[in-house]
């Protein structure tokens, strides 16, 4: 079959890489892709948000299955558009994507279906939010309602920090219209873990646990990024806790979607925190995580294609159950100096050929581009250097040996990825 992957980051490189190993897949297109994806798929210069152009393209090429990487095309309604035109797509419809697109919506949904989450209030009026803060207890968390590239969450230690957060989000509009409403919620303490479920809206399959490292600096300090590295499995999610998550999160979630008549054929990503009172949901995302996908797909022994295809067809139970390697996988993100703030682009990346033959490793590309024959940096997160081995310690050692061979001016990476499990 012909497949089109939407997006151009490390997650999409991992999707394309895994799909390219499928005997079912004869041709892969990627919109827009990147310099690494180009060796496995035909990259087409259409942006992921240009959903009408993507539809025209897949009609012209008679693509059988489109797989959406990032959230923006989903919240813009790419799945609804494709379904109207009889095109198979892996990704939820617009109403389903609101679980990520609106934090207020996600919190209300969790309340309605009894999914454990932090206590919260929603405000669309700054004066009322300020009044609430006067009688609140601290620390607490202030969140812009809409999409803000993972930056719309402010942890406030006291009243004055919370006041400033509300002012920035609701009055100064630092996240534009994403800050028209806010959620103010209880601060939770615990270790975080990402759990994914592939679903056709009726049944679902959960994938192995992953832990992401969101903060820019070692020791999980500094501003949040899209993710600086990940590893799987995450031992914090014991078998017992995984069962609780299945029972208390994914079961009510899927049955709630069904009750509300929401067509959800894609992947749902629970960002969880393991508190003293058990697992609670911090957020839902409506796509694979990045870098989480870069450690999940190397661990998948079986074919990814039937899972995505049958979920998109509404027939997930027809797909063989996925089989996983026992190996632990780790991904270290090499980023441009300055990320998640301002950074330079166009730096030549050296050493990629020296690591391309190593067993059980894969360098996934995120922000990379061709400049003539050279591969240069073209984004904040540049590469996802991934390795897998029976022991996590060996996988980590191997990934870091690769980061020493690869180089570009201003390359920055955290040296403590997976520290909580070592
Ligand atoms: P979110 O985008 O809602 O997942 O928030 C981003 C990050 O902020 C999370 O990964 C947590 O590290 C932190 N965070 C969000 N909500 C809370 C909360 N209620 N308590 C503690 N930390 C939180
Ligand atoms: N790594 C977190 C995310 O993809 O949202």
Name all residues whose Cβ lies below 6 A of ligand 1. Answer: 118, 141, 143, 150, 153, 155, 185-188, 192, 214, 224, 271, 282-283
pLDDT surpassing 90 at residue 60:
yes
In a domain, 419, yes or no: no
| Same domain, yes or no: 384 and 364 | yes
**pLDDT for 199:** 98
Residue 173: domain span: 125-180
pLDDT surpassing 90 at residue 283:
yes
Candidates 196, 290, 380: which one to mutate for ligand 2, based on the most atoms within 8 Å of Cβ? 290
**pLDDT for 244:** 98
| Same domain, yes or no: 203 and 279 | yes
Q: What is the pLDDT of residues 173-202, one digit of tens each?
A: 999 999 999 999 999 999 999 999 999 999
Residue 122: partners with Cβ closer than 8 Å, 6 or more residues away: 104, 107, 108, 145, 181, 182, 183
Which ligand 1 atom minimizes the distance to the CA of 189?
A: 21
Q: Which ligand is nearest to the CA of 229?
A: 2
Ligand 2: centre distance to CA 128 (Å): 31
Q: What is the pLDDT of residues 358-372, one digit of tens each?
A: 999 999 999 999 999
User: Average pLDDT in the 54-64 region?
Assistant: 98
Atom 1 in ligand 1: which residue has the minimum CA distance? 283
**pLDDT for 137:** 96
The pair of structure tokens assigned to 288 is 């694979």
Q: What is the pLDDT of residues 353-405, one digit of tens each?
A: 999 889 999 999 999 999 999 999 999 999 999 999 999 999 999 999 999 99
| Same domain, yes or no: 173 and 194 | no
Which ligand 1 atom minimizes the distance to the CA of 185?
A: 19
> Of 297, 318, 339, which residue constitutes the final position of a domain?
318
| Same domain, yes or no: 313 and 196 | yes
Which ligand 2 atom minimizes the distance to the CA of 288?
A: 4
| Same domain, yes or no: 133 and 152 | yes
| Same domain, yes or no: 162 and 253 | no
In a domain, 246, yes or no: yes
| Same domain, yes or no: 84 and 165 | no
| Same domain, yes or no: 201 and 171 | no
Ligand 2: centre distance to CA 5 (Å): 18
Candidates 269, 281, 335: which one to mutate for ligand 2, based on the most atoms within 8 Å of Cβ? 269
| Same domain, yes or no: 75 and 33 | yes
| Same domain, yes or no: 306 and 334 | no
Which ligand 1 atom minimizes the distance to the CA of 152?
A: 2
pLDDT surpassing 90 at residue 127:
yes
Which ligand 1 atom minimizes the distance to the CA of 188?
A: 20
Q: How many domains in the chain? A: 4
Q: Which ligand is nearest to the CA of 223?
A: 1
- CATH code of the domain in which 338 resides: 3.90.600.10
In a domain, 336, yes or no: yes
Q: Which of 94, 98, 116 is nearest to 181 (CA)?
A: 98
Atom 3 in ligand 2: which residue has the minimum CA distance? 289
| Average pLDDT taken over every residue of the chain | 97
Atom 5 in ligand 2: which residue has the minimum CA distance? 289
Q: What is the pLDDT of residues 304-333, one digit of tens each?
A: 999 999 999 999 999 999 999 999 999 999
Q: Which ligand is nearest to the CA of 178?
A: 1
| Same domain, yes or no: 356 and 313 | no
Give residue 151's pLDDT band: very low, low, confident or very high (50, 70, 90). confident
pLDDT surpassing 80 at residue 293:
yes
Atom 2 in ligand 2: which residue has the minimum CA distance? 289
In a domain, 104, yes or no: no
User: Average pLDDT in the 104-118 region?
Assistant: 98
Q: What is the pLDDT of residues 197-230, one digit of tens each?
A: 999 999 999 999 999 999 999 999 998 899 999 9
In a domain, 263, yes or no: yes
- CATH code of the domain in which 21 resides: 3.40.50.20
**pLDDT for 2:** 98
- CATH code of the domain in which 242 resides: 3.30.470.20
**pLDDT for 150:** 76
Ligand 2 contacts CB of residue 289 (under 6 A): yes
In a domain, 25, yes or no: yes
User: Average pLDDT in the 401-416 region?
Assistant: 98
pLDDT surpassing 80 at residue 142:
yes
Ligand 2: centre distance to CA 187 (Å): 20
Ligand 2: centre distance to CA 203 (Å): 24
**pLDDT for 357:** 86
Give residue 334's pLDDT band: very low, low, confident or very high (50, 70, 90). very high
Ligand 1: centre distance to CA 47 (Å): 29
In a domain, 42, yes or no: yes
In a domain, 168, yes or no: yes
Atom 5 in ligand 1: which residue has the minimum CA distance? 153
Ligand 1: centre distance to CA 328 (Å): 26
**pLDDT for 338:** 97
> Of 268, 294, 318, which residue constitutes the final position of a domain?
318
Q: Is 395 left (phi over 0), alpha (psi -120 to 50) or beta?
A: alpha
Ligand 2: centre distance to CA 124 (Å): 26
Give pTM, 2 decimals. 0.97
| Same domain, yes or no: 263 and 220 | yes
């Amino acid at each position: 079959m012909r497949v089109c992957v939407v997006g151009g980051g490390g997650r999409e490189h991992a999707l394309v890489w895994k799909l390219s190993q499928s005997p079912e897949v004869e041709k892969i297109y990627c919109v827009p892709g990147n310099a690494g994806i180009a060796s496995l798929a035909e990259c087409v210069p259409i942006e992921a948000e240009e959903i009408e152009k993507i539809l025209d393209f897949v009609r012209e090429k008679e693509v059988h299955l489109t797989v959406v990487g990032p959230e923006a095309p989903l919240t813009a309604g790419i799945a609804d558009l494709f379904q109207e035109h009889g095109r198979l797509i892996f990704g939820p419809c617009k109403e389903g994507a609101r679980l990520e697109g609106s934090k207020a919506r996600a919190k209300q949904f969790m309340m309605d279906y009894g999914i454990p989450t932090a206590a919260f209030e929603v405000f669309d009026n700054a004066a009322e939010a300020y009044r609430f803060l006067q009688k609140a207890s601290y620390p607490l968390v202030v969140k812009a309602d809409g999409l803000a590239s993972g930056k719309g969450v402010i942890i406030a230690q006291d009243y004055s920090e919370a006041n400033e957060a509300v002012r920035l989000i609701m009055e100064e509009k630092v996240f534009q219209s994403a800050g028209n409403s806010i959620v103010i919620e209880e601060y939770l303490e615990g270790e975080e873990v990402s759990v994914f479920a592939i679903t056709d809206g009726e049944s679902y399959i959960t994938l192995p646990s992953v832990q992401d490292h969101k903060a820019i600096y070692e020791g999980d300090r500094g501003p949040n990024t899209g993710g600086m590295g990940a590893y799987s499995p995450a031992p914090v999610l014991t078998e017992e806790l995984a069962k609780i998550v299945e029972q208390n999160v994914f079961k009510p979630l899927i049955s709630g979607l069904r009750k509300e008549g929401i067509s959800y054929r894609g992947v749902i990503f629970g960002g969880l925190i393991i508190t003293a009172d058990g697992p609670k949901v911090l957020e839902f995302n409506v796509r694979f995580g990045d870098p989480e996908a870069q450690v999940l797909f190397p661990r998948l022994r079986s074919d990814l294609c039937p899972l995505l295809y049958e979920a998109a067809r509404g027939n997930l139970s027809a797909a063989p159950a996925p089989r996983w390697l026992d190996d632990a996988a780790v991904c270290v993100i090499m980023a441009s100096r300055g990320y998640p703030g301002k950074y330079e682009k166009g730096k030549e990346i050296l050493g990629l050929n020296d690591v391309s033959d190593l067993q059980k490793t894969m360098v996934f590309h995120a922000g990379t581009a061709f400049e003539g024959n050279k591969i240069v940096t073209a984004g904040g997160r540049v590469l996802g250097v991934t390795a897998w081995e029976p022991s996590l310690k060996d996988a980590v050692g191997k990934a870091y040996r690769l980061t020493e061979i690869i180089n570009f001016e201003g390359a920055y990476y955290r040296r403590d990825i997976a520290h909580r499990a070592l």
